[in-house]
């Protein structure tokens, strides 16, 4: 087969062409795809020379001009910001192209939300996914109750409990219990932030009802053991994809990890000699857990025969280039694809966490041990799984007075 061409990069980006080619190879791109990215680099370098620009002048506005010109000249590929990511990610990494700057907020609400995001990130130490959820609900509330909150302006100064109550009643009329819980939690945090920053004269935190205690609303949604076995059996372990998916599902089903904890695992987290694994959980917590034999075998088989050979330390990598760590949502997609193969209704990764706890409970494990494996902070979180142990509950149930003797 004819090998792909490697274009000659001239102009402003020429000194970085060799390094970019090496980086594409390191990230696992095929020679043909790498050739496309090198042609893109040559085009961008030529575009810079034609306009007398230096790489350091490639800000967000000029990148959009570049994309417009590529589309105008009939280019069908690499005509979006996503298509430029490998090249510009490398150029930013070596420091010759500036990082994208955040646009100034277009409204007072936008500015206030930026402050709120900073508070959540810096003061409360929340993860990016959690911050995004809080920001979403805060934006909904501000759009309704304070659409023009100028800095220290009267829009928020006039905010009262009745405005909050009206908003909650309107929103919660169509939301699920889980969504309602997230909404009111966000409002309590937002009210605390607004008072601390002087946007409101009094604290309105207590005007927001506390979250609905939904954890006692019913039994857990665990899968049956044969369903979990079906998910594992659906993986074709003769392929790299099957080995990786089998290892992910085994970790979820046996250790009960959250999807983010699975995505954040690294090769350095596994102590093969001691038979232990370190899990990075919520709030920066790190827990050392025993590594069961079947989990260790699944991970070893994946690392030996299914994992790409590169210098990335993340345990689970994307199958296609760039071979970087999986995102949390990709872990959920692994579970959903396994459900399709096994003929089951689609479920998320968290359902396997429930299944792990119920399997341990049915095997006779006490709740405090289950809480240790699941890395729960409070006993109430683990107590949910006691409701699925019907035999144990039957032993303490009082006889019904209407039962026939």
- Active-site positions read 258, 282, 350, 353, 376, 385
> Token pair of 209, please?
């009802």
Beta bridge partners of 278: 288
CA atoms of 53 and 47, how far apart (whole Å): 9
CA atoms of 386 and 357, how far apart (whole Å): 10
Per-residue DSSP letters for 191-228?
HHHHHHTTSSSS--GGGSPPPP-GGGSS---PPPHHHH
Is residue 281 within 8 A of residue 291, CB to CB? The reply is no
- Read off the DSSP letter of residue 275: T
ω into residue 322 within 30 of 0, thus cis? yes
**Helix-strand-coil split of the chain, %, nearest 5:** 60, 5, 40
CA atoms of 145 and 139, how far apart (whole Å): 10
Going from the C-alpha of 355 to that of each of 39, 177, 347, 380, 385, the distances in angstroms are 50, 22, 12, 18, 10
CA atoms of 346 and 223, how far apart (whole Å): 11
Q: How far apart are the first and last CA of the chain?
A: 84
Is residue 350 within 8 A of residue 336, CB to CB? The reply is no
- Enumerate long-range contacts of 280-287, CB under 8 Å, 24 or more apart: 281/375, 282/127, 282/258, 282/375, 283/125, 284/125, 285/375, 287/375
């Amino acid at each position: 087969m004819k090998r792909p061409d490697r274009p000659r990069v001239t102009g402003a980006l020429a000194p970085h062409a060799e390094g970019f080619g090496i980086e594409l190879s390191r990230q696992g791109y095929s020679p043909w795809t790498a050739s496309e990215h090198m042609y893109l680099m040559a085009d961008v370098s030529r575009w810079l020379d034609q306009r007398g620009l230096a790489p350091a002048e490639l800000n967000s506005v000029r990148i959009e001009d570049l994309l417009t010109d590529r589309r105008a000249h009939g280019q069908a590929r690499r005509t979006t910001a996503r298509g430029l990511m490998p090249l510009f990610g490398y150029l930013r990494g070596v420091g010759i192209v500036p990082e994208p700057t955040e646009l100034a907020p277009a409204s007072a609400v936008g500015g206030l939300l930026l402050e709120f995001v900073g508070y959540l990130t810096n003061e409360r130490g929340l993860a990016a996914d959690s911050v995004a959820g809080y920001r979403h609900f805060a934006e909904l509330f501000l759009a309704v109750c304070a659409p023009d909150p100028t800095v220290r302006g009267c829009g928020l100064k006039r905010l009262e409990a009745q405005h909050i109550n009206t908003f909650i009643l309107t929103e919660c009329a169509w939301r699920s219990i889980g969504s309602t819980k997230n909404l009111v939690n966000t409002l309590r945090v937002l009210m605390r932030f607004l008072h601390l920053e002087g946007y409101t004269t009094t604290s309105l935190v207590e005007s927001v009802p506390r979250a609905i205690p939904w954890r006692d609303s019913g039994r857990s949604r665990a899968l049956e053991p044969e369903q979990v076995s079906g998910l594992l059996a659906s993986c074709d372990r003769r392929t790299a994809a099957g080995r990786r998916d089998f290892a992910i599902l085994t970790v979820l089903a046996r250790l009960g990890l959250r999807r983010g904890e699975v995505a954040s695992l690294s090769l350095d987290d596994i102590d093969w000699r001691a038979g232990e694994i370190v899990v990075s959980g919520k709030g920066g917590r790190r827990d050392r857990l025993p590594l069961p034999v079947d989990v260790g075998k699944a991970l070893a088989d994946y690392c030996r025969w299914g994992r790409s050979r590169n210098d990335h330390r993340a345990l689970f990598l994307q199958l296609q280039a760039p071979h970087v760590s999986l995102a949390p949502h990709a872990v959920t997609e692994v579970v959903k694809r396994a459900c399709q193969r096994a003929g089951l209704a689609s479920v998320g990764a968290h359902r396997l966490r429930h299944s792990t706890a119920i399997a341990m409970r049915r095997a006779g494990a006490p709740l405090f041990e289950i809480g240790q494996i699941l890395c729960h902070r409070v006993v109430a979180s683990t107590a949910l799984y006691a409701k699925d142990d019907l035999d144990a509950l039957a032993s303490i149930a009082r006889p019904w007075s209407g039962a026939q003797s």
